[in-house]
Structure 1
Amino acid sequence: MAKDSNTIIGILAGTAIGATLGILFAPDKGSKTRKRIADEAALQKERLASTAGDIKDRVVTEAELMKDKVASTVGAKKQTLDEQLDHLVTDASYKADDVISKLELKLKQLKEKNKKYHNGAGTKATS
């Protein structure tokens, strides 16, 4: 972007210097010199407008490319995040099932111990 600004400044400076030198060293009459200056100014105006249009087009194109790249990157990151979240939920579900199974086994063991304890205590009390 700075390169384009320098180009525009260079064109303007060149036009001003050229017009000044043309007036100072003009071998022609004033009317011819003024016409030449007007023609050169019109030419430089067209060049400047063309350069500005080119710069605008490049900026718009670059902005669109960057927008597409950002959208693509964000989409990919979102997909990756969704996949990681699904994987995490699946893992948590399996781990929860494991924990529940172990707790059920432990509860069953405790019930058996409690049943043996009650059966053994009941026979001692009736004897």
Structure 2
Amino acid sequence: MSNNTNSVLALLLGAAIGAGVGILFAPDKGSKTREKIKDGFDEAKDNLKHKFEDVTHQLRKKFEGSKHNMEETYEEMVSNMSYKTEDVISFLETKLADLKEQNAKLQKKQLANHEN
């Protein structure tokens, strides 16, 4: 077993022994002592339940915010990519026009060489 499991088991065993000793040496009647122990367990259970609910609520809020942030980030990326795509297309169109111009000059030069 792991150290955490051993620690939890030791804690539970200690609590059970403590409750038993408390019942044996309690100045109150056994029924009153059992009621106090039950109330203590109920209170601890309620506290744990409230803490769990708080953590769950906080995690949900965090994930909702993360989802919203991811959606915004995605939309920004798509928008930026759209602008970048337009830039790339413009660049390629300019290069294509330059290549067509250079090709036309080469063809004129070759035509002139063939006529001579």
Instruction: Name the TM-score class by shorter chain.
Output: 0.7 to 0.9
Question: Unaligned 5+ residue runs, structure 2?
Answer: 1-7
Q: Are the structure 2 counterparts of residues 9 and 84 from structure 1 closer, same or farther at C-alpha, using a change threshold of 3 Å?
A: farther
Shift of 1:122: 1.6
Shift of 1:111: 0.2
The residue matched to 2:29 in structure 1 has which SS?
helix
Q: Choose the corresponding residue for 1:121, options 110, 113, 116.
A: 110
**TM-score, with structure 2 as normaliser:** 0.74
Does residue 93 (structure 1) correspond to residue 82 (structure 2)? The answer is: yes
Contact 1:15 1:41 (8 Å CA) reproduced: yes
Q: Choose the corresponding residue for 1:15, options 11, 20, 23.
A: 23
Contact 2:26 2:33 (8 Å CA) reproduced: no
Question: Unaligned 5+ residue runs, structure 1?
Answer: 20-38
Contact 2:23 2:33 (8 Å CA) reproduced: yes
Q: Give a deviation string over 1:54-107, Cα, whole Å, max 9, x none.
A: 111111111111111111111112222222222222222211211111111000
Question: Following TM superposition, where does structure 1 have runs of at least 4 consecutive aligned residues deviating by more than 6 angstroms?
Answer: 5-8
Shift of 1:47: 1.1
Give the number of the structure whose alpha-carbon radius of gyration is greater. Answer: 1
The residue matched to 1:116 in structure 2 has which SS?
helix
Aligned to 1:75: 64
Counterpart Cα distance in 1 of 2:111 and 2:26: 120
The residue matched to 1:119 in structure 2 has which SS?
helix
Alignment of 1:56-71 (within 5 A): 56-71=45-60
Q: Give a deviation string over 1:32-61, Cα, whole Å, max 9, x none.
A: xxxxxxx70011111112111111111111
Q: Greater relative contact order: 1 or 2 (C-alpha under 8 angstroms, separation 6 or more)?
A: 1
**TM-score, with structure 1 as normaliser:** 0.69
Q: How large is the Cα RMSD of the aligned pairs?
A: 2.5
